[in-house]
């Protein structure tokens, strides 16, 4: 059953050193504030799982929180490399980063299998390519009915899923809209979860009967963090700050400039620092 906590209480309560943690959000609704809190609380030896590691994983890796990353595409979308992730992989700074690499299809299927309580995901993929040669978690199985050879990967079952959503209601149900990615699957697949939200409302009011809602009894901790997805965006609230993503390239390129930025903007700040980015319906207003 979900309970309302502050973000620092939620991270304190749900995430332990050595956990496998999935911060999800496919470009949209990326839980940046929660990632910063994990860094402030100095979690170590995490296995970090995410289809598209971008800025928040660059920050977690550069600050030494992670020892392994499971992913399918890593970069600063439309801009270039993640310099901190590359420094860890290529030079072992600040510590070596082991990784398990998949395709998007594999990870999306593996989250779905995790949510369904299945041990593995089966799909048509990984044909004629090299990833199965370097990732022992990619196997092939024969369809028992047709004999077709299909790819199989283990289900993703994180210790903790961390997501950001638009709204929770007083009863602790959570509503997501827009590009919903794999967040529902990640929360249902995980043992524990943290959801940061823009708003807590009395009730969700009029909505599509098919709205994406995580019922209170499927959610762990809920923390209200307005602006908590910034510089990613929250549909119906604020836009993606594309200029920030471009600026990150220079900030993260050198270790010194990265550490100075993290000190000023993460270590010496708190979840409240995201409130200045919070807006409602700015998309409609523009």
Interacting residues toward other proteins by CB under 8 A: 26-28, 51-52, 71-75, 77-79, 81, 85-86, 89-90, 101, 103-105, 108-109, 111-112, 123-131, 134, 148-149, 178-182, 184-185, 212, 233, 235, 239-246, 283
Compare residues 147 and 202 and give the one whose CB is closer to other proteins.
147
Compare residues 79 and 259 and give the one whose CB is closer to other proteins.
79
Cβ at position 44, least distance to other proteins in Å: 23
Compare residues 65 and 180 and give the one whose CB is closer to other proteins.
180
Residue 88 Rama label (left phi>0; alpha psi -120 to 50; beta) = alpha
**CA–CA gap between residue 51 and residue 108 (Å, rounded):** 8
Compare residues 25 and 220 and give the one whose CB is closer to other proteins.
25
**Beta strands 192-201 and 221-224: pairing type?**
parallel
Cβ at position 175, least distance to other proteins in Å: 15
Nearest-CA neighbor of 5 among 34, 25, 26, 30? 34
Compare residues 1 and 142 and give the one whose CB is closer to other proteins.
142
Cβ at position 109, least distance to other proteins in Å: 7
Compare residues 30 and 160 and give the one whose CB is closer to other proteins.
30
Cβ at position 132, least distance to other proteins in Å: 10
Query: Following CA atoms 217, 220, 221, 225 in sequence, which dihedral angle do they give, to the nearest 10 degrees?
Result: -80
Cβ at position 12, least distance to other proteins in Å: 30
- Axis-axis angle for helices 83-91, 55-62 (nearest 10): 40
**CA–CA gap between residue 89 and residue 168 (Å, rounded):** 38
Cβ at position 157, least distance to other proteins in Å: 15
């Amino acid at each position: 059953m979900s309970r309302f906590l502050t973000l620092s209480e939620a991270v304190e309560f749900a995430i332990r050193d050595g956990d496998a943690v999935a911060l999800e959000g496919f470009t949209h609704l990326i839980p940046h504030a929660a990632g910063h809190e994990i860094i402030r609380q100095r979690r170590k030896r995490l296995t970090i799982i995410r289809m598209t590691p971008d800025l928040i994983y660059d920050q977690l890796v550069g600050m030494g929180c992670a020892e392994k990353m499971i992913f399918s595409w890593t970069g600063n979308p439309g801009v270039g490399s993640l310099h901190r992730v590359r420094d860890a992989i290529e030079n072992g700074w600040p510590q070596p980063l082991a990784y398990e690499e998949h395709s998007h299809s594999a990870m999306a299927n593996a989250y779905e299998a995790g949510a369904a309580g299945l041990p593995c995901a089966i799909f048509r993929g990984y044909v004629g390519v090299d990833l199965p040669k370097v990732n022992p978690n990619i196997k092939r199985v024969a369809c028992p009915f047709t004999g077709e050879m299909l790819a199989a990967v283990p289900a993703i079952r994180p210790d903790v899923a961390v997501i950001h959503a638009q709204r929770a209601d007083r009863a602790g149900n959570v509503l997501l809209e827009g590009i919903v990615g794999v967040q529902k699957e990640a929360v249902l697949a995980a043992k524990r979860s943290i959801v940061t939200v823009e708003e807590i409302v009395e009730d969700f009011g009029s909505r599509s009967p098919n709205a994406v809602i995580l019922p209170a009894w499927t959610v762990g901790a809920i923390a209200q963090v307005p602006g908590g997805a910034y510089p990613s965006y929250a549909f119906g609230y604020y836009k993606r700050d594309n200029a920030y993503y471009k600026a990150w390239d220079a900030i993260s390129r050198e270790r010194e400039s990265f550490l100075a930025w993290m000190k000023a903007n993460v270590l010496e700040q708190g979840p409240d620092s995201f409130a200045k980015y919070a807006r409602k319906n700015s998309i409609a207003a523009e």
